[in-house]
Amino acid sequence: MGAIARAAYVQILGFPVIFWLGILTYASLAATVGAMALGRRSPRRFKWHRYLGRITTLLATVHALFGISAYLA
């Protein structure tokens, strides 16, 4: 098993890191959608939508890398 796959399956509170990263990615996606909905009323909040979108993309990319590494190893 490669280093990335090992890192993905380190246990935290009884669940692997890849599980927690998936939960965090989903929560970030929900926050991004919420920021867009709130941004319709206030253009100032639209900045948060872009910021959260970038975080969501980064989390999803790392989550996918962890998931794929388990099958490539």
pLDDT tens readout for residues 23-55: 999 999 999 998 888 777 766 667 788 899 999
Full domain range(s) for residue 58: 3-72
Given this model, what pLDDT does residue 43 score?
A: 66
DSSP state of 40: T
Nearest-5° angle of CA 30, CA 31, CA 37? Answer: 90
Nearest-5° angle of CA 52, CA 38, CA 55? Answer: 5
Given this model, what pLDDT does residue 16 score?
A: 95
Average pLDDT in the chain? 88
DSSP state of 15: E
What's the number of domains the chain is made of? 1
Given this model, what pLDDT does residue 55 score?
A: 96
Given this model, what pLDDT does residue 17 score?
A: 94
Q: What is the distance between the alpha carbons of residues 63 and 22, in angstroms, rounded to a whole number?
A: 6
Q: What is the distance between the alpha carbons of residues 15 and 17, in angstroms, rounded to a whole number?
A: 7
